[in-house]
Structure 1
Amino acid sequence: MKFGPNTPISSPYDNLKNFNIPKASILATASKQFHSPIIRQSTFFSALIAKYQGTKISHNDLLSKFIRTDEINLYWTKINTRGFIPDARTGASMNYHHQSLYIFAGERADQNSDIKRLDCVTLIWDKVVPKNLNNSEIPIVMSGHATAIYKHYLIVYGGFSSFDPLLQIRSITPLVYCFDLETSIWKSYKPTGSVPEPRRGHAACSVGNSFIIYSGMDCRGTLMSNLAVLNMEEMTWVSFKIKGDIPPIRKECTLTSVYDQGILDHYGFDVFNSPKHYDNVANKNTSGIYMFGGLSAKGRPLNDLYILKGQPNKNKPLVNEFVWTKIVTTGREPTPRHGHTANYVNGFLIILGGRNDDVVGGIVGEIPILRISNWRWESVNTFGDSPHARIGASAVTVGTRILLFGGMHLTEFASATLFELETDSKKVIDLVSYK
């Protein structure tokens, strides 16, 4: 799952502070949409349909003939929702639990620590109001945090609530907050153990009862490169050793859990002792935590890919360890970026959006897709109502789909519209045929 990567930028209306590029390039972003890095197919199929119109070849047969199910096909759909629709925002987190979608906080939200819930059956948004009698237990978070679902709790760590212009620091909490999705009550914790320095803008993911935190910035904006692991069952920060190909320091990257689905759906283990359950995609070699992209300490966008594996130390059973490995991929390398989202779905790691000041408009519309089974970047076909490319969006995997919300363009916040990206090729054929 993705936890709302954040790009610390100035007001979206002050373009000269955000990007040192010509205004003509900024205007080009207004029409930039997510697209395949290789092909745009809609015009091609329109021509085919026009050519065969009036023949015995049906629309569905024609599409089935030219859309190969052994290729990667994606279909975008704009989801029409109603109710207490969340404000357009950036840097929010989004999680899925029991047919409900939860959006938490984000810059330009109604208020700090705002929670909105979408019933994924009725497509109606509700405002979730905490039932705490003591407001001191409720977090004050605007953006830059990370969240995870653990059992029936929404776990929140990090993020900032305000900026002190005199001291030039952002207020960051060291606490961990748990929101009970069944009772709507917040509880705050101060976990013991190897306590990390408070941070914002970090990457995060969860595996079993482990909440893995990487990178981020402190209250003064100083970049951090360390890893931290929270045991969400015991509420303790776990100690461990790190070895392998340790990545260069960066910020605004992503962490994504890639495991057999049976592992991702359970909590009775930690990242260092995960069950040896594999499938034909997430096997012994490819299972792990994937880190992609980010912005280097020198301010250059990155497109490198690493896998992080947790394991018990064979010589010292009580000492856990992480092993970093840089992945050598094949296929066309993606455009470097930061502030993107990265989701594991249907056997692929799918990257959406991100910022790169060297591309026209500054925001990347290309959709890179990594086939996990062989670590190859694949070409894709994209269809449907593609949203505009963005940074700082929130995305979550639901079955074979990715739900996308919020983020920013160069000149404004992205609309408060929920988009769905279908990744199952057979379902894509049905969707294109229906349209």
Structure 2
Amino acid sequence: MFSNRSHTYRKNDSLKLQPVSPSESHPLESEYKYLPLITRVSQEQLDPKWQECKIDGKNLLPRSSSAITILNNHLYLYGGYQYAIGIMKDFYKLNLSAPTYSWQKIKCEYEPGPRCRHSICSYQEDIYIFGGQIADSISTNEIFIHDVKQQQWKKLKVNKTYPQPLDNHCATLYEDQWIIFGGFYNGDQCKHSNDLFSYKFRENKWLKLNKQKGMEPAPRDGSSMTSHNKSVYIFGGKNGDLRYNDLWQFNMLSQEWIFIAINKLKNIPMSRSGHSLISYQNNLIVFGGIHDVTWELDDLHCFNLDLKEWRTINSDSSRRQEQELLSPTKTNRNPPKKRKPKRLPILLRPLSLRKSPCPSPKKLHSFSQSQHSSYSTNNQNNYASSDLSQCQSNLNNQNNVTVQTSLNNVQERKRWEEFKKKTAMLKLFEVENREIMNFQDDCNVAEKLKTSIILIGNPKQDLKLKKGILTEFGQQIISKFLQPLTGGQNTINGKKPCARDGHAVAVFNDFMILFGGDRHTMSFNDLYLLNLNQF
């Protein structure tokens, strides 16, 4: 954890907080600088449109790329993927009208098996599952039907009208048809798709809709789809590293694609994939997704079909700290002067920098005869050789002494630096004798450990002010562990989901239900409700 404390704040780290009663804690709140920070952070976390569902009993394993649908006030979930486990095959339901939310596992003798990046829907009294990934780089085009009353799965017979094995496509219900778009063809084709298919439940037959040549979306997977009136809409998706933020409409009556031109370009959502798209009244609502590698989003956008305009409900806050960093500015100040290198003592200098008591042998040989013409060649050589041997013997003796002395000095310096570090660390834990009584407790637990437990585990501010030393680490923990206001028995009002992609959504009355997803390689198993009436 990196610290941004200023120098003045470090001086105040030793401030001791005296015990106060709960009645006295309220007037003292304004005296501590960290309390306004807590209020601001908790207010930022509150969003009245969102509610987190509290799960009673054992929760599901975290996962992404699962699929959910709603039938008779029950939420059904099948499959998903987790990095540490792989592709899952469990089947659950949750009663949305119950006073408490609890997942119930549905056990059947025959099951579709592991599946992720698939689609699921409910039609009449049955639940349908199509396509998806069943193993590493292996997809399927099978359709399974689940009889809710008898709790049995049945595999439908695949005929020639079925599309090729497909995964990571998007799907929606339109009247008595199941519409799917895009995805990735595995098997022989192994390419992205921009095909639009319609499945008729009663006939068990697929029909390709976009047979006419003309303007149409580019091949993609990871897009999202919804239906409204006599049309279906798709938004975003990706093809390799290329992601889109275009909006398309397919008119079910005229059987043609229409690219929706935007009137105002300033509020268009960023390009993304793995997001969600739903329709409510005359609006299209987009949440989350991934914009780039390791950049998942938590923004919320609304598109008005009458005005043809995007409106940003909540901006992306997943990289708020990076956006708030000040950009470098130009100044008229002169650049700082370079410091002169410090001259080390002779004994601590490298041998190459020490002055030798005799001239260097190389310098003797480098002299030219014209500069020393008064000497003969033989005399010069004899002088150089005799004097050089004497200097070398003196230098060797002195080097042995100086090297030993310098090593001793370096070791002594290291010991002194280690001693200073230990002294500085011990000073952090020093407490005056007259103050020990204020912090003394009958329990044998260390006071530092107890203070940490109070800061982390107790959400009440007045108890956090009773004992211990307030540190920046404590500030961040307090802000992190403050929970929003608790609503009813089964929800937490105001708590919104973090940035993610690969989540599953469904519409129930005036709420959008959101489950799971992942951020980087960390999956989620949380469940949220978005009140669509509060837009």
TM-score band (shorter)?
Answer: 0.5 to 0.7
Q: What is the CA distance between 1:391 and its match in structure 2?
A: 0.5
Q: What is the CA distance between 1:242 and its match in structure 2?
A: 3.3
Match of 2:320 in 1: none
Are residues 1:309 and 2:276 paired?
no
Match of 2:520 in 1: 410
Summarize deviations over 1:210-256 as a string: whole Å, max 9, x none: 11111111235532222222111111112543354211111111111
Find the partner of 1:98 among 59, 66, 72: 72
Match of 1:124 in 2: 101
- Give the unaligned 5+ runs of structure 1: 1-23, 25-72, 164-169, 260-286, 312-320, 429-435
Match of 2:431 in 1: none
Q: What is the CA distance between 1:193 and its match in structure 2?
A: 4.8
Residues of 2 paired with 1:127 and 1:188: CA distance?
23
Match of 1:176 in 2: 143
Structure 1 pair 336–78 and aligned structure 2 pair: CA distance change class (3 A): same
One-letter identity of the residue aligned with 2:228: V
The alignment's TM-score, normalised by the length of structure 1, stands at 0.65
Find the partner of 1:209 among 176, 187, 190: 176
One-letter identity of the residue aligned with 2:532: T
Match of 2:233 in 1: 290
Q: What is the CA distance between 1:74 and its match in structure 2?
A: 6.3
Residues of 2 paired with 1:378 and 1:310: CA distance?
26
Match of 1:273 in 2: none
Structure 1 pair 184–380 and aligned structure 2 pair: CA distance change class (3 A): same
Q: Secondary structure at the match of 2:167?
A: coil
Larger proportion of helix: 2
Q: Secondary structure at the match of 1:290?
A: strand
Q: Secondary structure at the match of 1:95?
A: strand
Q: Secondary structure at the match of 1:424?
A: helix
Equivalences for 1:1-20 in 2 at 5 Å? none
Match of 1:85 in 2: 59
Equivalences for 1:220-369 in 2 at 5 Å? 221-240=190-209, 241-259=211-229, 287-296=230-239, 299-311=241-253, 322-331=255-264, 332-357=267-292, 362-369=295-302
- Give the unaligned 5+ runs of structure 2: 3-46, 316-492
Aligned-pair Cα RMSD in Å: 2.5
Summarize deviations over 1:74-132 as a string: whole Å, max 9, x none: 61111112134221110000111111111111013897331111111223334343444
Summarize deviations over 1:271-319 as a string: whole Å, max 9, x none: xxxxxxxxxxxxxxxx41001001135x2211100001223xxxxxxxx
Equivalences for 1:11-90 in 2 at 5 Å? 75-90=49-64
Q: What is the CA distance between 1:172 and its match in structure 2?
A: 2.2
| Identity rate, percent | 22
Residues of 2 paired with 1:379 and 1:111: CA distance?
35
Summarize deviations over 1:54-76 as a string: whole Å, max 9, x none: xxxxxxxxxxxxxxxxxxx9611
One-letter identity of the residue aligned with 2:518: M
Residues of 2 paired with 1:421 and 1:225: CA distance?
30
Are residues 1:218 and 2:188 paired?
no
Report if aligned partners of 2:301, 2:314 keep a CA contact under 8 Å in 1: no
Match of 1:392 in 2: 502
Summarize deviations over 1:113-155 as a string: whole Å, max 9, x none: 31111111223334343444xx3xx212320111111111111
Q: What is the CA distance between 1:197 and its match in structure 2?
A: 0.6
Aligned length: 306
Which protein has greater RCO, CA pairs closer than 8 Å, 6+ apart? 1
One-letter identity of the residue aligned with 1:107: Y
Larger proportion of strand: 1
Residues of 1 paired with 2:299 and 2:505: CA distance?
16
